[in-house]
Amino acid sequence: MASYTQDAILITKTMQTLNCNAKAVVGINGGQIVPSYIEAIGPLANYVSAEARWSPDINKPLAQEVNKKYYSKYGQNMDGHNSRAHTAAMVLYYAIEEAGSTDKEKIREVLANIYVPPEKIIMTWNGVKFDETGQNILGTPCIVQIQNQEFKTVFPYDIASTDFIFPMPEWSER
């Protein structure tokens, strides 16, 4: 489901009112991934999942280390935007290192053929490797599920902080 936050709130409340028991609700690029969604509806948000780009509870040492430094400086966790910006900067850093130069053509050539393994980036991706159109072919989603009114990483499974609860409990069982 793709929706704005206010729409996601209304849809969830309506699902409960109508006793609409979906096996799963997954939000993409929308209102289910912002803290205000949980704040507005509390426990009704539990078991809703969303594509998050990144999450501070990813079970990956480098992600934890970088987020800890970010939090100590800014007083909040990283999010999908600044985690991708950090990763882009690091990939550029690795390319400059490998090129041994700041010459833009040498850097571009390295970037076209670079492989950055997953342990050298903070994202959930399987690494960084670009295809002929410049797209990272190793990108994988980060899926979170709201459990106890908190976002918890449930996919990719190997770096998830908890298990995915499926199917969602029916409204009468919550």
pTM of this structure: 0.88
User: In this structure, what token pair is assigned to residue 9?
Assistant: 């709130």
Task: Note whether 72 and 93 are same-domain residues.
Answer: yes
Pairwise CA distance, residues 146 & 151, whole Å: 5
Q: How far apart are CA 34 and CA 32, in angstroms?
A: 6
**Other CB atoms closer than 10 Å to residue 108's CB: what's the count?**
11
Per-residue pLDDT band for 39 (boundaries 50, 70, 90) equals very high
Asked if residue 127 is part of any domain, the answer here is: no
In a domain, 92, yes or no: yes
Please report the pLDDT score of residue 29 as a whole number.
76
The domain in which residue 159 lies consists of 5-52+142-173
| Structural domain contains residue 125 | no
Per residue in 98-157, pLDDT tens? 999 999 999 999 999 999 999 999 999 999 999 999 999 999 999 999 999 999 999 999
Total tally of structural domains belonging to the chain? 2
> Per residue in 143-167, pLDDT tens?
999 999 999 999 999 999 999 999 9
